[in-house]
A and B are shown apart, each in its own frame.
Chain A
Amino acid sequence: MRATVLVRPKQGILDPQGAAVEASLRQLGFAVGGVRVGRIVDLEVPLVDGELEQARAEVRRMCERLLANPLIESYEIDLHPGG
């Protein structure tokens, strides 16, 4: 099953990359604010007996151990059982 992990800089954490992208967008004439840059990790995990919650817990463990640093990043998990 495909899963998508969305990792974001936590609220209140200075995001210089987001600030640079925002400045660049404004320079291009876009009225924009609050730009934050995160990262997406697409991955494939086994879905055993249709146990979605089990798969979600496994991806959560991946996030806690490696994909996100909880000091500065938050994460969201999207599962795609159909696709």
Chain B
Amino acid sequence: MTRPRPRVAIVTFPGSTDDRDTYLAVELLGGEAVTVWHADRCLPDVNAVVLPGGFSYGDYLRCGAIARFSPAMRAVEEFADTGGLVLGICNGFQILCEAGLLPGVLRPNASLAFVCREVAVRVERADTPFTTRAEAGQRLLLPVKHGHGAWHAGEGLLARLDRNGQIVLRYGAGENPNGSVGDVAAVANERANVVGLMPHPEHAVDPLLGSPDGATILGSLLDAARDRLPAIV
């Protein structure tokens, strides 16, 4: 018996750059990738949505600020409201924060320099639909490449998110590439069906790419998406 392939929508905005890699990674890991254009008003029948990295709408005004009002994002918001799985990578994370689907906001790197390198992150929560293939405390090696990756939240908000277990990944000690508060690399919403992260799991799904650790994140997402498929009898 073959395992059913979960269907994953990948939304392309004008200026997205990592939609193709995300597509290939999802297919490589056994999912069925479905492309969605930013102007599409509804999502196809899918079990998860990924917002890929890039520079949607040229990063004008603030990163993600304009993309969040695109027709496809309205559909993504409805999908998330009903408990649908949504992962935002880099620019996708920025869009989710601007849309209010995730807490906080991404600001320019403290160094003002674009960073492009591998970083080690620590898995803080292994019980979200995006991290079940990892263990709490596990170290993952993932690439980052961004100029606006400093996640920011006020002290009160950060403490509340920490208490609620909404901090999913943290940069390892001395590894924070952007100056994010609390070394935060990934956050979840309260229901943990929406997660955003700055590192790029889709660029690290094979040892040939430097690290296979991204498959831990995307594979977890596919497992969770597969669980949402109707049972075949």
Contact = CB atoms under 8 A, between A and B. Distances in A.
Interface of A: 13-14, 16-17, 20, 66-67, 69, 71-72
B107 A72 contact: yes
B111 A16 contact: yes
A69 B112 contact: no
A13 B111 CA distance: 15
Contacts of B105: 69, 71-72
Given A13-B152, A71-B152, A66 B69 contact: yes
Contacts of A14: 107, 110, 179
Interface of B: 61-62, 65-66, 69, 98, 104-105, 107-112, 152-154, 179
Nearest to B65: A66
A69 B62 contact: yes
B69 A16 contact: no
Contact of B61 (A16, A20, A67, A72): A67
Contact of A16 (B62, B104, B109, B154): B109
A54 B8 CA distance: 45
B50 to A, nearest CB: 24
B123 to A, nearest CB: 26
Contacts of B104: 71
5 contacts: A16-B110, A16-B112, A16-B179, A66-B66, A71-B105
Nearest to B69: A66
A69 B108 contact: no
Contacts of A67: 61
A69 B110 contact: no
A78 B65 CA distance: 23
A59 to B, nearest CB: 15
Which among A13, A16, A17 has the greatest number of chain B C-beta atoms within 10 A? A16
Contacts of B109: 16
A30 B153 CA distance: 33
B110 to A, nearest CB: 5
A76 B104 CA distance: 22
Contacts of B61: 66-67
A14 B153 CA distance: 12
A77 B92 CA distance: 30
B152 A72 contact: yes
Given A69-B98, A72-B152, A16 B108 contact: yes
Given A66-B69, A69-B62, A71-B104, 4 more contacts: A16-B112, A66-B65, A69-B105, A71-B105
